[in-house]
Structure 1
Amino acid sequence: MPTRRLMPDVIKNQELTCLPPDATVRDAATLMAEKRIAAVLITEGRTLKGIVTERDMTTRVIAAGLAPDTTPLSAVMTADPDTLEPSATALAALDLMERHHYRHLPIAVNGEAVGMVSIRDLFAVVRTHLEDELRNREAYMFGSGYSAEATVG
């Protein structure tokens, strides 16, 4: 897992879901429901301005009593979110997300959004890594050439 890069090892061929800062919370909620996703990047052109997640909508809109039809995303987004570059490792993303309690992390190059990694994406990497480790250990312990009866020729 240490050598797996965010792009292309963890995510590849990703279609970014972005909205401008002046789009409404309702626009974001509708788009997220259509695409079955939990976060939207807020961009001007390709320049990353922020991120809005389901959690943001719950805490910053619904709990605050704001109107989804008139509240712009710029009022509730996490502005200037932390990002990692595509060459960052899956482990670096997992560490950053764990330290700051993120479930989604934008991937950017020079301020331009190029992707987003989720905790679910990283879970898949960790699971694959653990399965590979288990297979390798089983092969070592029970595979040919490693028994107590093996002789050195």
Structure 2
Amino acid sequence: MRISDLLRHKGSEVVTATPGLSVTGLLDDLARHNIGAVVVVDDAGALVGIVTERDVVRRLNDRGAQLLHAPVAEIMTTRVVTCERGDDVTAIAKIMTERRVRHMPVVADGSLVGLVSIGDVVRGRIEQLESQSEQLERYIVRGSS
């Protein structure tokens, strides 16, 4: 199974923000879309970072309520781990686990084309394992008849 299979199922819409968006604006976007991460892009649409609920909570602990007025650029992760549509879901699951990444932007030719979460990857992997199990059961039943 490839990342493109996951995107085909979930869609390729990605909620983005600019680096100048306030943390309060970010929280509004997260709540409105019921998501845990937003990809940060520059004015040209190029990927420049990612910011998650976890980033907000950790920085709130450090800086207090004044953080709410700060720009997203101050709390976003700039060394973003990305994948491509052709990448294998199992390999991406391993990378996400090893690097403790819950959200991974999908890029193609330098452009943002989707976002997968660890939940999407796990769901895809489960579907893959269920399909393999069904194929084995059919093979076994045919072989014993």
TM-score (norm. length: structure 2): 0.88
Unaligned runs of 5+ in 2: none
After superposition, the C-alpha distances for 1:38-74 in whole angstroms (9 at most, x for unaligned) are: 00000013200000011111112x2112424311110
Match of 1:6 among 3, 12, 17: 3
Aligned position for 2:23: 25
CA distance in 2, matches of 1:75, 1:20: 12
Contact between 1:11 and 1:121, CA under 8 Å: does it hold in 2?
no
Match of 1:42 among 40, 43, 52: 40
What is the root-mean-square deviation of aligned Cα atoms in Å? 1.6
CA distance in 2, matches of 1:52, 1:104: 10
- Please list, as runs of the form range in 1=range in 2, the aligned pairs for 1:122-141 lying within 5 A after superposition: 122-141=121-140
Identical amino acids, percent of aligned pairs: 28
CA distance in 2, matches of 1:39, 1:25: 12
Contact between 1:42 and 1:48, CA under 8 Å: does it hold in 2?
yes
- Please list, as runs of the form range in 1=range in 2, the aligned pairs for 1:1-153 lying within 5 A after superposition: 4-7=1-4, 9-12=5-8, 13-44=11-42, 45-60=44-59, 62-66=60-64, 67-141=66-140, 143-144=141-142, 146-147=143-144
Offset, 1:118 = 0.5
Moved over 2 A (4+): 65-69, 109-112
Offset, 1:109 = 2.8
Q: What is the total number of aligned residue pairs between the two structures?
A: 141
Offset, 1:106 = 1.0
Offset, 1:88 = 1.6
TM-score (norm. length: structure 1): 0.84
Contact between 1:104 and 1:118, CA under 8 Å: does it hold in 2?
yes
More helix by share: 2
The structure with the largest alpha-carbon Rg is 1
Contact between 1:48 and 1:80, CA under 8 Å: does it hold in 2?
no
Offset, 1:110 = 4.2
